[in-house]
Chain A
Amino acid sequence: MILIPCPHCGERNVSEFQYVGEALTRPNPDGVDPEQWRSYLYLRSNPAGPTVESWFHRAGCRRYLKVERDTVTNEVTSVTLPGRGGPQP
């Protein structure tokens, strides 16, 4: 189980966090077309390598975090606030 270094709580088990998803910018809902909006909702780049994600420290400080992680090695290189990933339930 990987550890995520939370800026508030220190290194914690990933099971304390909720994975929100790739950090994306929410399109302006005015004038957005279905293709843009749905690619924001559903399409993810899913790289093998470095990626920027939003994680929610659910069982900790309950902050949304922006996490830079390598999906191959699971190495976490940076964790910052706030994770501007677009809200997702």
Chain B
Amino acid sequence: MRRKAQATGVDMRLGPRPGEIIDRSRGLTFTWDGDTYPAYRGDTITSALAAAGVRVMSRSFKYHRPRGVMTTSYLDPGCLVQVGDEPNVRASHRMVEPGMSARPQNAWPSLRYDVKSANGALAPFLSAGFYYKTFMRPKRLWPAYERVLRGFSPGGAVSPEAAHDYYDKRYAHPDVVVAGGGPAGMAAAVAAAAAGAAVMLVEGEPELGGHLRWGAAPELAALGDLRRAVAATGGIEVLTDSVVTGRYDGNWVAVVQRSAPGVVERLIKARAGVLVAAPGLIERPYVFSGNDIPGVMLSTGARRLINLWAVKPGERAVVLTANSSGDAAVCDLADAGVDVLKIVDARSGEDVVRAKGGRTLRAVECADGTTVECDLLVTAVGWTAPTSLLNMAGDRPVYNERAARFFPGGGHDDVLATGGIAGDGSLEQLIDHGSAVGRAAARRAHEVSATTEIPSLPVEAHPALFKARTHGFVDFSEDVSSKELEEAVAEGYDSIELAKRYTTATMGPAQGKLESVNAVAVVAAATGATIAATGTTVWRPPYSPVTLGALAGRSFEPVRYSPMQPWHEAHGAKPLVAGQWIRPDHYGDPAAEVRSVRSGVGLIDVTPLGKFDLRGPDVPKLLNQLYINKWSKLALGSVRYGVMCAEDGVVLDDGVTGRLGDDHYLMTATSSGAETVWEWIESWLQTEHPEWRVHVARVTSDFASINIAGPRARDLLSLVVDDVALGPEEFPYMRVRSGSIAGIDGSFMWRIGFTGELSYEIHVPASYGLGVWETLLERGADLGVKPFGVEAQRILRLEKGHLIVGQDTDGLTRAYGAGLDWAVKLDKEDFAGKPELGWQEGRDDFLRLVGLRPLEGTAVPAEGSQIVEAGIIVGRITSSRMSPTLGRSICMGFVAPHLAEPGSAISIVAPDGSRVPAVVTPQLAQVDPKGERLHG
């Protein structure tokens, strides 16, 4: 069945080819720029378009020149397209799918009539350093420049409505990772696995085989043998359509697997014993005038098009050849029915001068003075060795003049090279080399000391061909010409690293793999230096672009819930993400929750509170070291509030610690500070005072914690506690008791008051948390008990003037600045931060935390608002809320020392620029400053 595209009326599809990868029994259609095109399963977007005679695949990024297929591989610089809501899809790599909608990028209003290409017509090339020269001055025009530059920026459109996709991560520990599944890579994998190694074989294309796939009968026969050997050898994990993007310290290897089932991409982090780099060689484009016109193609590109996808690349061709790949292209073209009009053999000094045409190639002018009318120019001028993975292991490639390409410097035990980057030779020699490298890799991975001999591959002579006598594009994706590079050198950017950055050559999506060596050669010619002296690009990770999705992937951060979470969810709690914890922010109306605590009784789930069980005779020494206040005389059954500072005197955390037994204490830390405090405790015990006899156990999740707060808190607690006397004399403020709560033994409770109300914090074994919570609500129904969330708690504590570390303090707040003067005990022998606090005590040049009352009671200045005086910032708001208890707004904030006195008038600048006048309150607490409710 012939399948001619309606949109073009052209059919370039050939009859069946022996190595073709399309499935002619599975036809499909997709759309390109709104028109429907036929394709076969196995086609890439560009192979299907080329089969329909489409030549222009994109407009270039800077000059908006028409571009077509050149490499027909992942690197194809003119073939980045938009597929659905996915931008920058490599159209010469991405397989078509039924119904796929692909669109060109960088073209407006259309690929055919692009307005911006006028730039190119008026000025054939923009000058070197175009951006720096054009868009720098005057500075006031930056907003306008920014709009212009944004219009010139490459890439498609990211849709904010894009559907959520799933990306995954995996860890692997293979003995040997082989990067590259060509003949040498396959041979290396088979040999390593046969020697007992666990092998991961990674190939960027959808199938193993490398250049054998688009070869002739002998190559296809060898391909079949090698694939069968890979399949028959146990211990090889084959990852196709996957790429090794980086090699890091300790042979930590990153692999992006695009073919993982069920996910868009999977990032594999592999700790490899030995990494075998077998990326093959990348064919290098030739620099000459018109080298980007659609119809100018690399020999590998043309051969892939013919042999993998059975597409005729043109009708009448000129071939510039300097090697066997070009010669093979001549055979393939003839075999495909292309009229090869002229063969320009660079080995005998022949050359091309320029290509002519607009949206497609029309003629080629040769150095012998002839001009040949044709629609296809195939070039085969040499190779680039992608030594990236070796560079990442510290290798510095060496330029070989005879072969006109770079070779690995060598000398690594855990990174080996095979295949084209290691040398030339027959297919048999490459396979033998791969096998030897595979065996050596297996030995080294297993740390067998015996060394194996790795044969060296021959190095064949190749003409040094980089640029014809005309100027052309060096970097196709960034639209940088050889003329610009020469200008850059003339302007003084005469080192390759400078010239690259100035012109942006090699900075585009191909990341130097096509254009790097040509850029070096052009700069070398312009400076009169050799290529070896000019240097090479040191390729850094990633080898290939990595999507943000693959990097972000699936997060392995734990999410923590309290045992009461099912109740919260069932009762409409609005979730709040607090570090790893998900907590109820409120149950609908935080102000009502505040009022029910102040007038009756409320319950809050405080399970995320950090809890540490401390045991041993030296716990008081530890507490004295950690807290700025005194701890030696904490009586049995007592609880004390404490503040910790770091060694720089900055407030680190706060919490309460109670003494449960002679040598047994329970410490709490803030939910967000719990991890830090745990490490802080361990660091003192392990590094400074290993002689102290203290055992620390984190028990945060061992207990479910509930704060019962409000004037009726005692009434409620008494309904579930029988064996502890709760009267104000028997169980006063700041005391701890153990006992049974709602029938659950091993619970304890302490009387503290973050909210400013009579309150008990109860801790019950975690597995009973939900039951105790429900029991309290059930039995307390007559008392009007209501749950409250984090938001209500924040309001309650702000009314009471209790600070939150990290909210009302920052990375510069030392204890005296946070109003904690009363807690600092400088007469202690030692404690964390003591010297700094000693020095701070003698100064007065630091901001103070104060309570603030806006004069206009309805104004709630946003947290973070600045406090200003005569145009100078003299403080900021740290906490602000509308107080349901007072019926007006309340704040805490930092002010300069001269404004810290009660009654000082200050001016807050709200985010909208309006001023909110406020006055400093007598103390931090604005509700019940005397603490009568707390002690009730």
Contact = CB atoms under 8 A, between A and B. Distances in A.
Name A's interface SS: loop
Interface residues of A, number: 28
A3 to B, nearest CB: 5
Interface string A58-89: 10001110000000001000000011111111
Nearest to B625: A87
Contacts of B646: 88-89
Interface in B654-683: 676, 679-680, 682-683
A3 B250 contact: yes
A56 B679 contact: yes
A85 B682 contact: no
Nearest to A20: B683
A85 B269 CA distance: 32
Interface string B677-694: 001101110111010000
Contacts of B936: none
Contacts of A82: 686-687, 690
Nearest to A2: B249
Contact of B830 (A29, A58, A84): A29
Contacts of A2: 249-250
Q: Which of B250, B648, B684 has its CB near the most chain A CB atoms (within 10 A)?
A: B250
A26 interface: yes
B274 to A, nearest CB: 15
A82 to B, nearest CB: 5
A64 B686 contact: yes
B652 interface: yes
Contact of B679 (A13, A30, A58): A58
Name B's interface SS: helix
B836 A56 contact: no
B350 interface: no
A6 to B, nearest CB: 14
B250 A89 contact: no
A43 B648 CA distance: 13
Given A29-B835, A89-B676, A54 B252 contact: no
Contacts, number: 67
Given A3-B250, A58-B679, A64-B682, A87 B687 contact: yes
B250 A88 contact: no
A34 interface: yes
A62 B836 CA distance: 29
Nearest to A56: B679
Contact of A64 (B250, B648, B687, B832): B687
B249 A84 contact: no
B612 to A, nearest CB: 13
A87 B250 contact: no
Contacts of B829: 30
A87 B647 contact: yes
A32 interface: yes
A29 B826 CA distance: 11
Contacts of A32: 835
A86 B686 contact: no
Contact of A84 (B679, B688, B832, B836): B688
Nearest to A76: B250
A63 B686 contact: yes
B648 A87 contact: no
Given A1-B250, A32-B835, A56-B679, A85 B652 contact: no
B108 interface: no
Contact of A1 (B248, B652, B836): B248
Contacts of B686: 63-64, 82-83
Contacts of A89: 646, 652, 676, 679-680, 683
B249 A54 contact: no
Interface string A21-34: 00000100110101
Interface in B829-863: 829-830, 832, 834-836, 839
Contacts of B830: 29-30
Interface string B626-649: 000000000000000000001110
Contacts of B249: 1-2, 74
B647 A88 contact: yes
Listed from nearest, the 7 A-B pairs whose CB atoms lie closest are: A87-B683, A1-B252, A2-B249, A64-B686, A82-B686, A29-B834, A37-B835
6 contacts: A3-B250, A54-B687, A56-B683, A63-B686, A82-B687, A87-B687
Given A1-B269, A3-B250, A41-B647, 18 more contacts: A1-B248, A1-B249, A1-B252, A18-B679, A29-B835, A32-B835, A34-B839, A37-B836, A54-B687, A56-B679, A58-B679, A64-B682, A82-B687, A83-B687, A87-B647, A87-B687, A88-B646, A88-B683
